[in-house]
Amino acid sequence: MSTDTLQREDTSVSEDDSLKEIVSETRQFVTFQTGNEVFAVDMGLVKEIMRVPEVVRVPLAPSTLEGLANLRGKVLPIISLRRLFGQEQQANDDGTRVVVVDVGQACGFVVDRVSNVVGVEPGQIEAASSINGTVDAALLSGIIKDVGGHAMIMVLDFLKLIEREYSTIAVASKKTGVAGTDFALSGAQNEVAGDELQLVSFHVAGQEYAVTIDDVQEIVQVPDTIIHVPGAKAHVLGVMTQRSRLLPLVSLRRMFGLAEQALDEKSRIVVLVLGSESVGLAVDGVNEVLRVAKSDVNAMPALLEREGNLADISEICRLGDGKRLVSIISVRNLFNRSEIEEALGAAKGLERDEEAQTAELEETMDEDEQVVVFRLDKEEFGVPIGSVEEIVRVPDELTRVPKAAANLEGVINLRGTVLPVLDLRPRLGMERVPRTDRQRIMVFMISGLRTGFIVDQVLEVLMIPKAAIEKSPQLSSEQGKLLSRMANLEKQKRIVQLLDPAHLVEGQELAQLAAAATEEVRDQAADS
């Protein structure tokens, strides 16, 4: 098997002061699974992650030793974590990986699969003595809770782990003073690193791609909730919450015009950074971290690099005697694409003046806001309670108005007043659905015209703290106008998009609705 690997280094490259502060407090861990348990190791101790190499069996060695591998001229002990923990053995598969950790000398530990790289705040790490589990707490340096989609992750102390069966390695570890995250490459390795590219590889639609590790902030699982942003283009999946911030998500499949495929448990979000900006890139799965000799890398042919999506691919690397080709994506070129620029519109302030927007938000956030929360499909929206005239049931039939605008569902007689009624779903770029008993008409006064909008369900009246309200990423001009704010209710794992009813109908559309209502009043008067 291929042993192409990557030395892990600090993945934070942002020059933004606020991001530096976050990164300085946040520790990065590589998480992995063995059996039914989820473990982590501080990323500073991880030298490489690779596929399982061919090994030479060693007679009289501890049963936990798989064997010895030749890794670029260095002998690497390969140790089975399943055997160390007394777990049932299983054959290696495509997900099996070797995590190479420095414990005075490099040792490779076979794990069932590497999950991702996660950022962990200091307060999320607890003492290992706080649990009773299948793994001896003496082998753990801490417990991480509620990170990366896992209720609990055990942080392994690899030095203590090998002391039980590999005393020679343990003695060497103590002599070299390996501890914490103070791992540094030897001078010889640093010299080699200068002739290599350090990459994170992933796959999309059966093709393997990679980006330099300096451009990767972290790799995370697909969140349970992705907030759809009405009016955004197809490549924009929506936004997710990342450490109390809203992160725009884009689909690499859609950007590259590849066949559609739903995100699943194997999909990952690769968080890319360029300067002070970050964006989440949805990929089918992350393969491994690679260290690639520069001699195995070729520039994209000049004739192709300017064409379409190929402009994003700066180089091609050849692995396994040319049998494995990995396309290296230029993050800088990717960030210059209109799709990414749109997803980062809020940060760049393309449509709205930043100072005016901030002043507007500060004015509206002087006090806690009371909003009426309603649902469209699976998403929650809110409007200021003062903007809601009333909420009524949808009648069995709406009166159709001849030659009226196509978006007008009809009119109803509401206590002697003719009320134009529209379906809010198509206004926000959603498909219409059949009528249900849960649907309601929310009535707003818009530029002097009482107008009703059908919503899927009215949920509650909610008091939202001003600290929970923040700007929405501006992903299109229409969305930026209608849904410029979001309530990020982190403790409830809930995001409510705040809608401005004043922009629901404007200009000619508003005039058409007013004319339809007037015409219906005349018809009713004539009939009477």
Domains and CATH numbers, the chain: 17-193 (2.40.50.180), 196-348 (2.40.50.180), 354-527 (2.40.50.180)
How many CA atoms lie less than 13 Å away from 513 in the CB half-sphere? 27
For residues 492 and 129, the model is more confident at 492
- Beta-carbon contacts of residue 83 (< 8 Å; ≥ 6 apart): 63, 64, 89
- Contact status, residue 176 vs residue 169, Cβ threshold 8 Å: no
Starting at the earlier edge strand, list the strands of the sheet with 457-464.
457-464, 369-376, 379-384, 494-498, 485-489, 469-471
pLDDT at residue 87 in the model: 85
How many CA atoms lie less than 13 Å away from 327 in the CB half-sphere? 16
pLDDT over threshold 60, residue 520: yes
Return mean pLDDT, the chain: 76
pLDDT over threshold 90, residue 384: yes
pLDDT at residue 350 in the model: 30
The C-alpha atoms of residue 372 and residue 458 are separated, in whole angstroms, by 8
pLDDT at residue 400 in the model: 83
pLDDT over threshold 50, residue 188: no
Percent of the chain past pLDDT 90, that is, above it, reads 13
pLDDT at residue 452 in the model: 92
> Of 76-85, 387-396, 466-475, where does mean pLDDT reach its minimum?
466-475
The C-alpha atoms of residue 518 and residue 418 are separated, in whole angstroms, by 8
Q: How confident is the model at residue 315 (pLDDT cuts 50, 70, 90)?
A: confident
The C-alpha atoms of residue 226 and residue 388 are separated, in whole angstroms, by 27
3-state secondary structure of 15: coil
pLDDT over threshold 50, residue 352: no
For residues 13 and 487, the model is more confident at 487
Q: Which residues pair with 441 in a beta bridge?
A: 392, 454
Task: Give the residue-averaged pLDDT of 8-30.
Answer: 49
In whole angstroms, how far apart are CA 295 and each of 242, 292, 299?
A: 38, 8, 11
Phi and psi angles of residue 121, each rounded to the nearest 5 degrees, phi first: -75, 150
Task: Give the residue-averaged pLDDT of 146-166.
Answer: 79
Concatenated DSSP letters for 453-517? Answer: EEESEEEEEEEE-GGGEEEPP--SHHHHHH--EEEEEGGGTEEEEEP-GGGSS-HHHHHHHHHHH
pLDDT over threshold 60, residue 186: no
Neighbour tally for 241: CB within 10 Å: 19
User: 248-276: per-residue pLDDT in tens?
Assistant: 888 888 888 888 898 988 899 998 887 77
What type of residue is 336? N
pLDDT over threshold 80, residue 441: yes
pLDDT at residue 351 in the model: 32
Nearest to 512 by CA among 440, 449, 455: 449
Q: How many residues does the chain have?
A: 528
Measure CA 327 to chain center. 22
The C-alpha atoms of residue 174 and residue 168 are separated, in whole angstroms, by 10
pLDDT at residue 489 in the model: 84
- Contact status, residue 500 vs residue 427, Cβ threshold 8 Å: no
Q: How confident is the model at residue 277 (pLDDT cuts 50, 70, 90)?
A: confident
> Of 206-210, 355-359, 394-398, 405-409, where does mean pLDDT reach its minimum?
355-359
pTM above 0.85, yes or no: no
> Of 109-123, 192-206, 255-269, where does mean pLDDT reach its minimum?
192-206
Task: Give the residue-averaged pLDDT of 166-178.
Answer: 47
pLDDT over threshold 50, residue 17: no
Concatenated DSSP letters for 279-321? Answer: EEEEESEEEEEEEEEGGGEEEPPHHHHTSGGGGGEEEEEEETT
- Contact status, residue 463 vs residue 370, Cβ threshold 8 Å: yes
Burial class (CB in 10 A: 0-12, 13-18, 19+), 106: middle
The C-alpha atoms of residue 221 and residue 429 are separated, in whole angstroms, by 27
Phi and psi angles of residue 120, each rounded to the nearest 5 degrees, phi first: -125, 125
Task: Give the residue-averaged pLDDT of 111-135.
Answer: 78
- Contact status, residue 102 vs residue 169, Cβ threshold 8 Å: no
Range ranked top by mean pLDDT from 14-18, 149-153, 305-309:
149-153
Q: How confident is the model at residue 498 (pLDDT cuts 50, 70, 90)?
A: very high
- Contact status, residue 494 vs residue 380, Cβ threshold 8 Å: yes
Phi and psi angles of residue 330, each rounded to the nearest 5 degrees, phi first: -85, 110
User: 228-239: per-residue pLDDT in tens?
Assistant: 777 677 788 888
In whole angstroms, how far apart are CA 249 and each of 217, 241, 256, 261, 327?
A: 14, 10, 15, 15, 21
User: 279-299: per-residue pLDDT in tens?
Assistant: 889 999 888 778 888 888 887
Q: Is 341 left (phi over 0), alpha (psi -120 to 50) or beta?
A: alpha
What are 427's two structure tokens? 């206004």
- CA Rg, the chain, in Å? 28
How many CA atoms lie less than 13 Å away from 478 in the CB half-sphere? 11
Neighbour tally for 457: CB within 10 Å: 14
pLDDT over threshold 90, residue 457: yes
Strands 27-34 and 245-251, bridge-based pairing: unpaired
Q: Which residues pair with 100 in a beta bridge?
A: 48, 108
pLDDT over threshold 80, residue 71: no
pLDDT at residue 14 in the model: 39
pLDDT over threshold 60, residue 22: no
